[in-house]
Amino acid sequence: MQAADPDLDNEAAIESGRWLFEQTCTFVIGAVKMDDLPGTDMTEIAFAGRSNVGKSSLINALTNHKDLARTSNTPGRTQQVNFFELGGRMMIADLPGYGYARAPRETVRQWTDLVGDYLQGRPQLRRACLLIDARHGIKETDREVMTMLDKAAVSFQAVLTKCDKIKAAELEKRFKSVNDELATHVAAHPYLIATSSARGTGLETLRAALAALAPSR
């Protein structure tokens, strides 16, 4: 099921992913508006997902940190994009979580404005990782974000999270249904990656996929 991508299914790709994510990763800035975005042309990747999807856990697991990324999805809190620099080779943008059921309308509007501007106006953004909770599959708010990504022509990599929480047969079914829906989105990268931050599953594949976008060593 995992990583049918032939470009990643080799030791060199895995090794370059491992190497990149062993580099020092440091917090740069929490941007609340376009003017705050770091002025760099470094290759950038973004992480997006519904609140509680496991985004902070995944960023921490990928970068071998305990609490680099923290959940900041409390409704009403300022929406910000947190930037992390990885070894001077890649910028990681952690987008604010969305889809919180009780979020005030103003918070939703702030999210859409900030993320919309960011997706449209960041040429160095090479890929967005769109995280989907393996237990719940694709929700309506995820569809809205996929449509934003399609329209902004930002190529996105869908990633299933918390795969340890469901049985293998259920995961198999979920993987297929998510994959089928991804096929309807022009900006979707064709290979879905199933992960568990808790168990470390899929991390090597995702690291390899992202390292393939960074400048070579």
Per CB under 6 A, residues contacting ligand GDP are 49, 51-57, 71, 73, 97, 161-162, 164-165, 196-198
Distances (CA, A) of 126 to 44, 136, 137: 6, 27, 24
Task: Name the strand (E) or helix (H) holding 151.
Answer: helix 140-152
Pick between residue 145 and residue 214 the one whose CB is nearest to ligand GDP: 145
Asked if 151 and 181 count as a contact pair (C-beta separation under 8 A), the reply is no
Pick between residue 52 and residue 141 the one whose CB is nearest to ligand GDP: 52
Pick between residue 151 and residue 199 the one whose CB is nearest to ligand GDP: 199
| Shortest reach from residue 88's CB to ligand GDP, in Å | 25
Structure-derived torsion over alpha carbons of residues 39, 44, 45, 47, reported in degrees to the nearest 10: -10
Beta strand residue intervals within 7-96, DSSP E: 25-31, 44-49, 81-86, 90-94
Pick between residue 56 and residue 80 the one whose CB is nearest to ligand GDP: 56
Pick between residue 56 and residue 205 the one whose CB is nearest to ligand GDP: 56
Residue 49: both structure tokens together: 């997902």
| Shortest reach from residue 204's CB to ligand GDP, in Å | 15
| Shortest reach from residue 217's CB to ligand GDP, in Å | 29
| Shortest reach from residue 94's CB to ligand GDP, in Å | 8
Beta strand residue intervals within the chain, DSSP E: 25-31, 44-49, 81-86, 90-94, 125-133, 156-161, 193-194
Distances (CA, A) of 145 to 130, 148, 151, 162: 9, 5, 10, 20
| Shortest reach from residue 101's CB to ligand GDP, in Å | 14
Give bridge partners of residue 196 from the DSSP assignment.
201
Pick between residue 17 and residue 54 the one whose CB is nearest to ligand GDP: 54
| Shortest reach from residue 37's CB to ligand GDP, in Å | 21
